[in-house]
Amino acid sequence: MKNKIPFKILLILIGTFIMLQFVRPARNLGETPVNGDSLSIQTPAEINTILQTSCYDCHSNHTNYPWYTNIQPIGLWMQHHVDEGKEELNFSVFNTYSAKRKKHKFKEIMEEVEEHEMPLSSYTMIHKETELSAEQISTLTKWAAAEMEKIIEPGH
């Protein structure tokens, strides 16, 4: 009797895993911002490369999905991260943000990359190419600071 309980639990777990494979989250496959056009600012080529490599998968309307996101619950977990990332900052619709929000987002970009909070370590662990070097962090924060200074809020 004792041996049947773990076997039943194993069957339930396997069955749940198999059933979960039929769950497919919506894919984030809109257009990728190109050359900063969607940002309502022109980004230098170096900044554009950094953003495309390290930011756009979670912070734009287009995600490049690796093969393993077809396995659930990994795909669900990835989509949750993408949804959260886009909610926080979406470069594809950056030009729709108010001046105040744009300034705030540039400030957050500087803070997040300087504190090595972005890109997420869980992402860079698998995608080593997305890790930001000290030089890239410096370049990105200087760019964000300069762009933040250019923004004039209404009434100021």
* The pLDDT of residue 87: 95
Buried/exposed code over 97-119 (b: 16+ C-beta within 10 A; e: otherwise):
beeeebbebbeebbebbeeeebb
- Taking only the tens place, the pLDDT of each residue in 126-154 is 889 999 999 999 999 999 999 999 988 77
The answer, as to whether pTM is greater than 0.75, is yes
- Taking only the tens place, the pLDDT of each residue in 69-109 is 888 888 888 899 899 999 999 998 898 999 999 999 999 99
